[in-house]
Amino acid sequence: MNTQATPSPQFYLTAPAACPYLAGEMERKVFTHLVGPRAAEMNDLLTQGGFRRSQNIAYRPACEGCRACVSVRILANEFEPNRTMRKVLGANRDLVGTMVPTQPSTEQFTLFREYLDSRHQRGGMSDMSALDYAIMVEDTHVNTRLVEYRRRVPGQGIGDKPQGELIGVALTDLMSDGLSMVYSFFKPDMEKRSLGTFIILDHINRTRQLGLPHVYLGYWVKGSAKMHYKTRYQPQEHLTPRGWERYDLGNDN
C-alpha cells in the first residue's frame, strides 16, 4: 500500500500593483505553478474555481476591498447567436479554423506583433520578443492547442492543409468540461470582420462539436468598458461566492 502523500499545490500572493482595468484601484493575485503529471487535472480544477492560466502559472485576483473581476463561462449548448453575431459569421465564411499543436512560427509572431502594436502599445505584453512569444505558447504542462484562422484558398478541399493568409490565432486549453480561451490575436486592420467576436463564436461551435458544455472567457470586470463584450454571449454563468450562477445581461445596468 502506498502511503506517500500526494503533493499539494503551493499558493503565493503577489505584491500590490496598479490595476490595469479600473483607475485608482490596486490589484493583487494569488497564484500557483502548473507543473508535473497532474498539471492538466489541476488546470481543470483551478479554472473551474475561477483561476486563469498564463504559461505554467494559474492565477486569480485577490484584491482587498474589490470584487469587480468575475469569472465567466458560456453555456455552449444553449447559446444562440443574435442578429449581429450571425452577420459576423457570414462576413467570415471565407475563413478556415484549424486546431494545431502549440508550435510557434514566424508567421504567428509577425501577426502577434502587428496586433500588439495596434491594440496594446502600452500593455504588459507590448515589449514581447519572438522568444517571449515562443515561451507563451510552448511553456505549459497542460493540454493546450493553437487554432489558426486562414483565408480559404480557391479549390481547397476538406482535409487539405490550409495554405491561405493567417488572419487570427487563438491559444486554447482543452479541458474536461470545455474550452478555455487563454489568448487570441488577429489582423487589427480588418475591423469590419469583428474577428474577436468570430473567434469566440467559433470556439462555442467547437465546444458543441466536442460534446462539452462550457467556453471559459476569463474575467469580466464590472466597470471596465473594454471587458463589457464578454457579457454579450448569452446564456452564461458567473462564478459567485455561491458557485457558478446564471447571469442576466440586465444585471449589468
- Kindly list the distances between the CA atom of residue 125 and the CA atoms of 33, 113, 135, 162, 206, in Å, as whole numbers in the listed order: 20, 10, 13, 29, 28
pLDDT of the residue at 251: 55
The full set of domains in the chain, from first to last, is 12-69 (no CATH), 73-252 (3.40.630.30)
Closest by CA position to 39, among listed 140, 146, 135:
140
Point out the least confidently predicted range of 83-97, 114-128, 202-216: 114-128
pLDDT of the residue at 127: 80
The helix (run of H) or strand (run of E) holding residue 239 is strand 236-240
pTM of structure: 0.90
DSSP class of residue 117 equals H
pLDDT of the residue at 253: 44
Residues of 66-75 as b/e, b for ≥16 C-beta within 10 angstroms? bebbbbbbbb
**pLDDT value at 232 more than 90:** yes
**pLDDT tens sequence across 192-207:** 999 999 999 999 999 9
Amino acid at 40: A
**pLDDT tens sequence across 234-248:** 999 999 999 999 997
- Could you tell me the pLDDT band of residue 162, with boundaries at 50, 70 and 90? low
**pLDDT tens sequence across 45-78:** 999 999 999 999 999 999 988 999 999 999 999 9
- The pLDDT of 139-145, averaged and rounded, is 93
pLDDT of the residue at 157: 60
User: Are 218 and 181 contacting, i.e. CB atoms less than 8 angstroms apart?
Assistant: yes
